[in-house]
């Protein structure tokens, strides 16, 4: 695969071009700027030659060839419609044929105005049809899911959508059905198109056969303002186009970027775009007088500065901040307030792996994953957490990579990967056995050998690995042993950027350790002397300190601890005890009773900025509209606050900010220290079962607010997933109800018995309707739990915290 293919020279329309062997004629023509009409051809799908539109004449051949399936050959002489009458006639005839059954209902079709069939008929077509007989008629449209509508009349049977499902997402919900004029795209009766990638089929449909329910009759291409953005839903960093009509986001499309998302985005990125236009959005600064009352920015910032003068201040943020905001926050906390009590994480990796990720960028990229010979995925459910990475792993598997997953729950990679299921928290022990090579004849031995012998291996570690304090470092050590690439894959869009910027109690920008004088000095050279060289409190310690009243002012920037922190009780205690809470976000939500001041932030598509992918790639996102109301980009608010406390940050524009950022975030070498793995750290399982949780892709998260169609299509109500053997032991039945009890709380949930989950552990999604699972947690995403069957969900199903009684489900 790494061998470069031989170059071949051929002639197209009298022009010579040299391309690698195996290139398709249509791609070679593109290089010359010659456009050949096509419908079924898509650069990221395998060629199929279904639509027959790209006919070209090849000298020495008796028939016309489809350019999208024909590979180049040395000395080939190709004539496209530009130089061959025969090719031109063939294309015109084919277009007339494709239009025979096409309803030509362009005025009501959502594709009208941006339709490849419309455009290419105008450019290459006959202009008139000789067909006067009645056309084929179907019921239209039929919903494939609450998101995707199918109009079979318009379909030209290019099979882009079915090939996408087959080759890219690997979930073959839709398929070509029947033959001839009756051929159509179909889905199994009673089945829903429940793929988290279903929206891509809409975008690649070259006609209006597949349309989005969210965009149905909403706008035309000339109505909308568009801007190139970056998706803010996860750390995948998908390149998107955001369409705004009259100030309201109406559509999100994927942009092609072969380095990042190819041509795909997940359905959350595509359909969850209404959060910033929702009724919960607050766009004026508020201050608590009698109630929360509107005020000017100056007034609120002045009051906040007053409150924090000489006070003990701490900053919590989540994964929403753009890189610029994170950098400004890091500087604000340290320079203006002299505190190191700031954090963005909710799982605490610590250790060398995190420092490495903070210090450098692009050590492992999408491309590395795509070309890897073997991939080890640890503690990561890629489809649910970083969906586009999931697609890349699948792409690699199609290219022959061996994929292994060490996780407590089988992921949707199961058809291409081998899973080593283990109880949560034990991943480190499994990795340790892989490092040692595994016992003879064991699965580990086989996996270790496959990883060792593969050409270019990659280890991808997810955030669930942080459940054991050293597990990420063990994963790092394994990757070193294998000579493999290593990446920590955070879930949220701002995670990596915040880590790089030093929104961290012990790390300064660029992963420089606060406690190491030489590294601190590099930052002090730019920022001036830092008041404190002691590492501060991490997110959990900040909340604990708040609960103990050891912090006076708590800044909550784009984070809602009540929902985000894996310990709802602690979050509540902290909010009740800290004297001053300053909320900076798009909305107040559940923080309304607590907030003493509110600072309205601009949404991602309302401001200039960058977001960093899990690889460390910083990508620019552009505004498509002005910030709503009085809201401002977060960094501007931080700059205003610094000004109000009399310690300006020193940047008046985003360019100045970036200049300083780039100076401090240039890649650095980090000396690798050996990690001490405490082998005895393998937990002894005394409790009955271990409950573990992570957020599913479509959940009750704030950024999915208003995405009713998406939720109708993909959101599942809360459940508890139990291994069949555990279910038998605990007398739980599939479809029955179980009371799940942990040290923090209890909940009654419907049971799913499935061998997808590791024995001895039960899975509960983090934030599905019916349960905010953080009420069951005390600081970690795992907890010892007991389960008991609740007959018919009977009495006692209520009570306690976070209860989802069976009544609530009906």
Partner 1 sequence: MSARREDRGTVSGGFGATLKGLATVFRQVFRADVTEEYPRRIQPPPPRSHIGRHRLNRHEDGLEKCIGCELCAFACPADAIWVVGADNDPEHPVSPGERYAKDYQINYLRCIMCGMCVEACPTRALTLTSAYEMSFLTREDAILTKDQLLEPPAPLGTAPGTEEG
> What are the E-state strand segments in 298-378?
313-317, 342-343, 374-378
Q: Between the CA of residue 565 and those of 9, 208, 343, 557, what are the distances in Å?
A: 60, 43, 12, 14
**Alpha carbons 44 and 142: distance in angstroms, whole number:** 27
The CA distance from 481 to 473, in Å, is 12
Question: Contact region for partner 1 (CB under 8 A) — 60-68, 88-96, 102-110, 445-453?
Answer: 102-110
Of the pair 59, 223, the CB lying nearest partner 1 is at: 223
589 binds partner 1 (CB under 8 A): no
Cα–Cα distance between 276 and 295 in angstroms, integer?
21
Instruction: State how beta strands 720-722 and 746-753 pair.
Output: parallel
CB of 216 to partner 1, least distance (A): 6
Determine the 3-state secondary structure of 561 from DSSP: helix
Cβ-based nearer residue to partner 1, 112 or 724: 112
Residue number, 154 or 504, with CB nearest to partner 1: 154
734-753 residues in contact with partner 1 (CB under 8 A) are none
- Report, in Å, the least distance between residue 199 CB and partner 1: 19
Q: Where are the beta strands (DSSP E) in 231-346?
A: 239-245, 248-254, 286-288, 292-294, 313-317, 342-343
**Minimum CB distance to partner 1 smaller for 215 or for 486:** 215
Q: What is the DSSP letter of 256?
A: P
Token code pair at residue 658: 């970036």
Q: Considering beta carbons, is residue 130 or 139 the nearer one to partner 1?
A: 139
Q: Does 142 bind partner 1 (CB under 8 A)?
A: no
CB under 8 Å to 216, separation ≥6 — which residues?
110, 149
User: Is residue 656 part of the contact set for partner 1 (CB under 8 A)?
Assistant: no
Q: Which of 59, 85, 105, 298 binds partner 1 (CB under 8 A)?
A: 105
Residue 107 binding partner 1, by CB under 8 A: yes
Q: How far is the CB of 533 from partner 1 (least distance, A)?
A: 60
Task: Report how far apart, in Å, the C-alpha atoms of 314 and of each of 329, 341, 489, 494 are.
Answer: 11, 5, 26, 19
Q: Given the complex with partner 1, which of 176 and 218 has the nearer CB atom?
A: 218
513 binds partner 1 (CB under 8 A): no
Q: Which is nearer to partner 1, 153 or 615 (CB)?
A: 153
Rounded CA gap, 282 and 275, in Å?
11
Q: How far is the CB of 246 from partner 1 (least distance, A)?
A: 9
Shortest distance in whole angstroms from residue 105 CB to partner 1: 8
CA 480 to chain centre: 27
Q: Which residues pair with 278 in a beta bridge?
A: none
- Give the residue with the Cβ less far from partner 1, 141 or 558: 141
Please report how close the Cβ of residue 108 comes to partner 1 at its closest, in angstroms. 4
Instruction: Tell me which stretch binds partner 1 (CB under 8 A): 101-109, 272-280, 331-339, 399-407.
Output: 101-109
Are 25 and 70 contacting, i.e. CB atoms less than 8 angstroms apart?
Answer: yes
CB of 381 to partner 1, least distance (A): 36
Minimum CB distance to partner 1, residue 31 (Å): 34
Count of residues interacting with partner 1 (CB under 8 A): 13
CB of 185 to partner 1, least distance (A): 19
Task: Please identify, among the stretches 53-61, 106-114, 225-233, 293-301, the one whose residues bind partner 1 according to the rule CB under 8 A.
Answer: 106-114
State how beta strands 737-742 and 782-790 pair.
Answer: antiparallel
Q: Which of 108, 258, 515, 525 binds partner 1 (CB under 8 A)?
A: 108
* Phi/psi of residue 587, nearest 5 degrees: -145, 165
Q: Which stretch binds partner 1 (CB under 8 A): 104-112, 522-530, 584-592, 766-774?
A: 104-112
Helix (H) or strand (E) holding 654: helix 654-664
Instruction: Work out whether the CA dihedral 385, 386, 389, 391 comes out positive or negative.
Output: positive
Instruction: Report the distance separating Cα 97 and Cα 276, nearest Å.
Output: 45
Least gap, CB of 142 to partner 1 (angstroms): 12
Nearest residue (CB) to partner 1, 223 versus 662: 223
Residue 792: closest CA among 780, 807, 777? 807
| Residue 702: CB minimum distance to partner 1, A | 28
Closest by CA position to 584, among listed 337, 277, 269, 300: 300
- Based on the shown chain and the rule CB under 8 A, indicate whether residue 798 belongs to the binding site for partner 1: no
**Least distance in angstroms from the C-beta of 107 to partner 1:** 3
The answer to whether 343 touches 316, Cβ cutoff 8 Å, is yes
Sheet strand arrangement including 292-294: 292-294, 286-288, 597-600, 580-585, 553-557, 313-317, 342-343
C-beta neighbour count of 651 within 10 angstroms: 21
> Which lies closer to partner 1 via its Cβ, residue 217 or residue 676?
217
Those residues whose C-beta lies under 8 Å from the C-beta of residue 795, and which sit 6 or more positions away, are: none
- Shortest distance in whole angstroms from residue 220 CB to partner 1: 5
Nearer to partner 1, 149 or 236 (CB): 149
Question: Using CB under 8 A, which residues numbered 194 to 253 contact partner 1?
Answer: 216-218, 220, 222-223
User: What minimum distance in Å lies between the beta carbon of 414 and partner 1?
Assistant: 38
Given the complex with partner 1, which of 112 and 769 has the nearer CB atom? 112
In 3D, which of 528, 533, 489 has the Cα closest to residue 507?
A: 533
Smallest gap, in angstroms, from Cβ of residue 704 to partner 1? 23
- HSE-CB at 266 with a 13 A cutoff on CA atoms is 29
Distance between CA atoms of 776 and 771, rounded to whole angstroms? 9
Q: Which tokens hold the place of 520?
A: 């601190």
- The contacts of residue 372 (CB under 8 Å, 6+ apart) are 396, 401, 454, 456, 457, 458, 485
Binder to partner 1 among 88, 140, 194, 481 (CB under 8 A)? 140
DSSP type of residue 136: P
Q: Which of 125, 141, 536, 627 touches partner 1 by CB under 8 A?
A: 141
Peptide bond into 141 cis (omega under 30): yes
The stretch among 50-58, 105-113, 329-337, 518-526 that binds partner 1 (CB under 8 A) is 105-113
Judged by CB under 8 A, which stretch of 107-115, 158-166, 423-431, 669-677 contacts partner 1? 107-115
CB of 357 to partner 1, least distance (A): 47
N residues, the chain:
810
**Candidate list 30, 96, 113, 708; residue touching partner 1; CB under 8 A:** 113
Show the binding pattern over residues 293-332: x = contacts partner 1 (CB under 8 A), - = does not: ----------------------------------------
DSSP secondary-structure letter at 257? B
Task: Please tell me the distance from the alpha carbon of residue 810 to that of residue 519, in angstroms, as a whole number.
Answer: 58
Q: Considering beta carbons, is residue 218 or 311 the nearer one to partner 1? A: 218
Closest contact distance (angstroms) between CB of 221 and partner 1 is 9
Map the footprint of partner 1 across residues 364-423, applying CB under 8 A: none
Q: Does 143 bind partner 1 (CB under 8 A)?
A: no
Rule CB under 8 A: say whether 134 interacts with partner 1: no
Residues near partner 1 (CB under 8 A) are: 105, 107-108, 112-113, 140-141, 216-218, 220, 222-223
């Amino acid at each position: 695969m790494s061998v470069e293919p031989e170059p071949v020279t051929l002639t197209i329309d009298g022009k010579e071009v040299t391309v690698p062997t195996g290139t398709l004629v249509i791609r070679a023509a593109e290089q010359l700027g010659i456009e050949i009409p096509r419908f079924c051809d898509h650069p990221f799908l395998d060629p199929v030659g279904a639509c027959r539109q790209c006919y070209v004449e090849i000298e020495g051949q008796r028939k016309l060839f489809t350019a999208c399936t024909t590979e180049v050959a040395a000395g080939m002489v190709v004539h496209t419609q530009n130089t061959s009458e025969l090719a031109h006639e063939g294309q015109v005839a084919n277009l007339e044929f494709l239009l025979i059954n096409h309803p030509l209902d362009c005025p009501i079709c959502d594709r009208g105005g941006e339709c490849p069939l419309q455009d290419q008929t105008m450019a290459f077509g006959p202009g008139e049809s000789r067909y006067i007989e009645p056309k084929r008629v179907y019921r239209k449209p039929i919903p494939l899911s609450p998101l995707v509508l199918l109009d079979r009349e318009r379909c030209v049977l290019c099979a882009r959508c079915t090939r996408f499902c087959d080759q890219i997402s690997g979930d073959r919900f839709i398929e070509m059905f029947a033959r001839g004029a009756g051929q159509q795209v179909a889905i199994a009766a009673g089945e829903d198109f429940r793929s988290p990638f279903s929206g891509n089929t809409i975008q690649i449909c070259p006609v209006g056969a597949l349309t989005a329910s969210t965009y149905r009759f909403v706008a035309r291409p000339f109505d909308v303002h568009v801007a190139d953005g970056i998706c803010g839903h996860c750390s995948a960093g998908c390149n998107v186009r955001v369409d705004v009509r009259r100030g309201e986001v109406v559509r999100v499309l994927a942009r092609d970027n072969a380095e990042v998302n190819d041509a795909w985005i997940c359905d959350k990125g595509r359909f969850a775009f209404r959060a910033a236009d929702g009724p919960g959005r607050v766009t004026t600064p508020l201050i608590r007088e009698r109630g929360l009352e509107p005020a000017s920015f100056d007034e609120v910032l002045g009051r906040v500065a007053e409150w924090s003068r000489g006070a003990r201040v701490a900053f919590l943020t989540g994964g929403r901040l753009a890189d610029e905001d994170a950098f400004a926050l890091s500087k604000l906390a340290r320079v203006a307030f002299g505190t190191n009590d700031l954090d963005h994480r909710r799982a605490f990796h610590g250790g060398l792996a995190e420092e490495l990720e903070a210090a450098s960028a692009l050590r492992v990229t999408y491309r590395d994953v795509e070309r890897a010979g073997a991939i080890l995925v640890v503690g990561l459910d890629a489809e649910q957490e970083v969906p586009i990475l999931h697609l890349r792993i699948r792409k690699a598997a199609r290219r022959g990579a061996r994929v292994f997953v060490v996780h407590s729950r089988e992921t949707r990679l199961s058809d291409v990967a081998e899973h080593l299921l283990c109880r949560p928290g034990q991943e480190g022990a499994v990795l340790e056995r892989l490092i040692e090579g595994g016992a003879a004849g064991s699965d580990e031995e086989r996996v270790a050998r496959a990883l060792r012998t593969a050409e270019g291996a990659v280890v991808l570690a997810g955030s669930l690995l942080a459940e054991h304090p050293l597990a990420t470092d063990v994963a790092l050590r394994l990757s070193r042993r294998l000579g493999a690439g290593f990446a920590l894959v955070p879930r949220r869009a701002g995670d990596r950027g915040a880590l790089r910027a030093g929104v961290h109690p012990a790390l300064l920008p660029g992963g420089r350790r606060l406690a190491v004088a030489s590294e601190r000095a590099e930052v002090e050279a730019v920022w001036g002397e830092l008041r404190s060289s002691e590492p501060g409190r991490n997110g959990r310690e900040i909340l604990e300190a708040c609960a103990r009243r050891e912090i006076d002012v708590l800044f909550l920037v784009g984070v809602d601890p009540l929902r985000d922190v894996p310990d709802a009780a602690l979050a509540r205690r902290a909010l009740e005890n800290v004297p001053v809470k300053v909320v900076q976000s798009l909305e107040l939500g559940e923080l309304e009773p607590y907030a003493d001041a509110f600072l309205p932030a601009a949404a991602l598509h309302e401001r200039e900025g960058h977001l960093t992918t899990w690889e460390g790639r910083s990508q620019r996102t552009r505004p498509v509209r002005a910030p709503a109301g009085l809201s401002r980009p977060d960094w501007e608010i931080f700059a205003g606050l610094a000004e109000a406390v009399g310690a300006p940050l020193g940047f008046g524009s985003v360019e100045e900010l970036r200049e300083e950022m780039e100076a401090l975030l240039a890649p650095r070498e980090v000396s690798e220290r050996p990690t001490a793995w405490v082998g005895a750290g393998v937990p002894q399982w005394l409790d009955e079962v271990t409950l573990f949780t992570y957020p599913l892709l479509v959940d009750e998260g704030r950024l999915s607010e208003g995405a009713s169609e998406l939720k109708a299509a993909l959101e599942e109500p809360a459940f508890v997933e139990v291994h069949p053997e555990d279910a038998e032991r605990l007398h739980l039945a599939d479809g029955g109800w179980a009371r799940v009890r942990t040290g923090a709380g209890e909940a009654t949930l419907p049971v799913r018995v499935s061998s997808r989950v590791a024995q001895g552990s039960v899975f509960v999604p983090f934030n599905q309707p019916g349960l905010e699972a953080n009420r069951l947690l005390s600081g970690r995403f795992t907890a010892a739990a007991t389960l008991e069957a609740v007959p018919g969900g009977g009495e006692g199903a209520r009570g306690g915290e976070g209860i989802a009684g069976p009544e609530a489900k009906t």
